[in-house]
Chains A and B, each alone.
Chain A
Amino acid sequence: MYVFVWRRLVGTALVLLGVSVVVFLMIKLIPGDPAATLLGPQGTPEEVRQLRAAMGLDRPVAIQYLRWLERAVHGDLGTSTSLAQPVTSLVFTSFRNTALLGAASIVVAILAGIPAGILSATRPGSVFDVIGMLVALFLNSMPSFWLGLLLILSGSVWLRIFPVGGMVSIRGPSGPGDLLAHLVLPTISLSAWSVGIIARISRSSMLEVIGLAYVRTARSKGLAERLVIYRHALRNALLPVVTVISLQAGTLLGGAIVTEAIFAWPGLGLLMYNAIGARDLPVILGGILVMSAVFVVVNAIVDVLYVVIDPRVRLG
């Protein structure tokens, strides 16, 4: 286990270093200038040149990167050029908000998707199976921005149950109930696609396991069907599902730009979307580093989970 953890730490550092280099170069290569974007259309080339010099953007690219890296290693991710705030606090505050939304979405996706897939697999060809998989396909096909706007129209404008957007603090005057109210619609919107894919993968994985010989043996020994499915078949069927969930978790925890923009949820996705438009390199770099670290950590956790689920799997 210690060797596993050590290897993962070293690997993570190398991944983050590589990601930072690639992203830094990409931002420098795409058209757009942070100084020109800050000054807007009224800016003149001369004013842009002066502002670039003040921001240190006139230095060679390699020097700019090395200066950024030196500060980043000490925990200073720089200052946002568009928001004039420290990137570290911006990124971590946004990540915390995204983590809340992402975690809620993963929980909903698991609680809705896995049971739906299992029930479909145990009743193949039934009305429940057909309707369930059609709904799953629909959820997979629906664009998230369309679903989000539909939820706002129905839940906020017509029914007046949920707020349109924004987020409140759990310690705010309106309390955790208000935070929960703000969380409902974006969670439904964000989890929809995951519910669909988890349900479909659960169903196909379960069907494959149910068809194996040992399950037939268990049934022929007279075991109750509930025991056959949930004690003997489910655990083996979960491995592919865990893989899909880990990929979904990485994506959701990294920030869902469209959902966050529609519901004005102040998460990492929205922060990155605005930063890219403004060519705010410090924020882009900081945000992507956090997203990359999340992916790596989630994958490490999933690797450990594999061992728990299937003792035949070894770490390392």
Chain B
Amino acid sequence: MMRGLRFTRRRFVARGLTTMAGIWSSAIGERAGAAPAPIAGGTLVIGSEGQHQTLDPHVLTGTVTLHITSLIYENLITQDMTHPELKYVPLAPGVAESWTVSGDGTVYTFRIRSGVRFHDGTPLDAAAVKANFDRALDPSSPFYYPPAKGNLNFIMRWVDRVDAPNPATFIVRLKQPFPSLPEELADRRMGLISPTALRKAGNTDIGAHPVGSGPFRFGSKSTDNTITVDRNPAYWGTKPYLDRIIFRPYPDPTALGAALQTGEVDVVFTLTVDQLTTLSKDPNIQIQYTDLANVFFWMLNTRNGPTTSKQVRQALNYAINRRAISNELLKGSVRPCGGPAPVGNPVYEPALLPYDYNPAKAKALLAAAKVPLPLELVVMLPTSGAELTDAPAVGTVMQQELRDVGVNVAFERMEWAAFLAKAIKGLDDRTAALYTGWDTGTQDPYWFETMFSSASAPPNGPNRAWYSNSMVDQLLAKARHELNATQRITTYRKAVAIIADDAPWIFIYQDRWPRAIRTKVHGFVSVPCPYVDMTKVWLAK
């Protein structure tokens, strides 16, 4: 009996211990599974891939410095970057708390938020907004600045005039209906500068003394061009968790990757393929893909030479193995894009990406086109330029794939500034193609008119392939004026289907835009946007 009692007690203790262990591990598991609570404070260090330019948003083009100015300045309209479940980034009220559009689509009336001030205390009212627009619009304005006019022409070309009848009301009157205006107003180059600061510093020096209304204010710029922005305690919106963000420039990508590995920086916004391969193995670093709609392609000369033939252009598209380029050469940092409408553009649907790797079809099309083989093509290839560092490697692979179907490509390799100076004039008679990419506004349907309308040919626009199709022109113009959103997309899709069939480009890939973040950094939401809502970012201890 005693023996049975001892056995029972031992079993009772064992079972009790087991139960307690179970309760304990369950509690730990629950704690580990729960989202950690944000911690206020701390300094985030971001490694910039190149030098920082002026902090004047109206004259900037590259995202390297726009990452900084997007924290200091605010726009009338902003982007809601908190919905990773969507394949696009919806617009949200910024400094304008609401807006209305007239029935004919030419008058936008913005209600300016009350009580918002710039970092220097100047009220951000309609007059201040008008001063910013006048900088690029009105030569008689004391704020007028020709470099701003040139850089902001993408939006100002549509504007007839702007008015500020009272502090709370800002009116934009357009020359014609332009439903893409809200999207364009969310462009980070449209950040609002304090007119007081502009008067004080002047147009050329405002970049060294930036004053906006954003959640962060300019702190300092140090000897090595490191720029610091500090939390704005008087911000009208959601206040950031972070005390400070430091942007440190590293011209060399290998050094930048090393800085992330050592913890000298916490975030790198864009990665090269080599960096991606190295950093993805580091357990202290996580890789996020934002899946932007940026696209990369060869513009084909539709006005001169063998590429005037649609069959030849289609053949060139079928000759390219986009999957191999994306997955093997570029290690998954991009995705194939065999058509004009990238994922992330509202017009996108799978049928609009018709081109896949089919060398047999390429050869058949070349035969049907009755062009003498081997076909000789000259292609302009940039050897540098933002986001085009992979161009030489991709170009070499494409050269081989085209040779396999009887097309010989000779590259005219050019440094970026020389490439741009030649490219903006359009493809000349002896050049069959040029390799380039596009990021600005590729998520906006209006982008198709910018790139494919015959009115956008040089000197008026970037349709450097000289592509011209009257049906496409009509559809694009109709879509531009269409105020019904659903009908607008339908009309754009009809136009894009024709563009896909005409193949004025070799469509290659779109960027997945990988970025690297140390694991102590929280709050980075992966949405199709190069920018981050830094008010949501915090650092674990």
Q: Which residues of A approach B to under 8 Å, CB–CB?
A: 30-33, 35-51, 53-55, 79, 82-85, 93, 97, 149, 152-153, 156-157, 160, 163-169, 172, 261-266, 270, 273-274, 277-279
Contacts and interface: CB of A to CB of B under 8 A. Distances in A.
Contacts of A85: 54, 205, 207-208
Contact of B460 (A44, A153, A168, A274): A44
B252 A264 contact: yes
29 contacts: A32-B421, A37-B416, A38-B61, A40-B61, A41-B423, A41-B436, A41-B437, A41-B462, A42-B154, A44-B459, A45-B425, A47-B150, A85-B205, A152-B258, A156-B258, A156-B264, A157-B258, A164-B258, A164-B259, A164-B264, A166-B224, A166-B250, A168-B224, A262-B252, A262-B255, A264-B250, A270-B51, A277-B417, A278-B417
Interface in B406-436: 414-418, 420-425, 436
Interface string B445-468: 000000000000011111000000
Contacts of B250: 164-166, 264
A165 B255 contact: yes
B251 A264 contact: yes
A84 B151 CA distance: 14
Interface in B185-221: 204-205, 207-208
Contacts of B226: 166
A65 B72 CA distance: 38
Given A36-B420, A152-B258, A166-B224, A46 B249 contact: no
B54 A153 contact: no
A244 to B, nearest CB: 29
A46 B459 contact: yes
B223 interface: yes
A83 B153 CA distance: 20
A2 to B, nearest CB: 39
Nearest to B254: A149
Contact of B222 (A84, A157, A169): A169
A279 to B, nearest CB: 5
B255 A263 contact: yes
A277 B437 CA distance: 19
Contact of A167 (B146, B149, B224, B384): B224
B418 A31 contact: yes
A127 B258 CA distance: 38
Contacts of A84: 53-54, 56, 59, 204-205, 207-208
Nearest to B265: A164
Contacts of B146: 50-51, 53-55
Interface residues of B, number: 56
A253 to B, nearest CB: 18
B428 to A, nearest CB: 13
Given A84-B207, A262-B252, A167 B223 contact: yes
Contact of A43 (B205, B422, B424, B438): B424
Nearest to A171: B223
Interface string B242-284: 0000001111101100110110100000000000000000000
A79 B204 contact: yes
Contacts of A55: 146-147
A42 B222 contact: no
Contact of A44 (B225, B264, B438, B458): B458
A162 B363 CA distance: 57
A36 B62 CA distance: 13
Contacts of A82: 53
B487 interface: no
Residue from A82, A84, A261, A266 whose CB has the most chain B CB atoms within 10 Å: A84
A156 B225 contact: no
A7 to B, nearest CB: 37
B394 to A, nearest CB: 17
B252 A277 contact: no
Contacts of B248: 166, 264
Interface in B139-187: 146-147, 149-151, 153-154
Interface string B317-351: 00000000000000000000000000000000000
B396 interface: no
B460 A172 contact: no
Given A33-B421, A43-B424, 8 more contacts: A40-B62, A44-B461, A46-B460, A48-B424, A84-B204, A156-B262, A157-B258, A163-B262
A273 B249 CA distance: 15
A44 B462 contact: yes
A167 B147 CA distance: 32
B418 A32 contact: yes
B389 interface: no
A82 to B, nearest CB: 6
A147 B59 CA distance: 37
A278 B59 CA distance: 14
Given A50-B146, A152-B255, A37 B225 contact: no
Contacts of B222: 168-169, 172
Given A38-B147, A277-B415, A279-B417, A261 B252 contact: yes
A152 B260 CA distance: 12
Given A31-B418, A35-B150, A44-B458, A160 B61 contact: no
B26 interface: no
Given A85-B207, A157-B258, A38 B223 contact: no
B440 interface: yes
Nearest to A257: B251
Contacts of B416: 37, 277
Contacts of B421: 31-33, 36-37
Nearest to A279: B417
Contacts of A165: 250, 252, 255, 259
A42 B61 contact: yes
A55 B459 CA distance: 19
Contacts of B420: 32-33, 36-37, 40-41, 43
Contacts of B425: 45
A83 B54 contact: yes
Nearest to A85: B208
A41 to B, nearest CB: 6
Contacts of A164: 250, 255, 258-259, 262, 264
Contact of A266 (B59, B224, B415, B418): B224
A31 B223 contact: no
Contacts of B262: 156-157, 160, 163-164
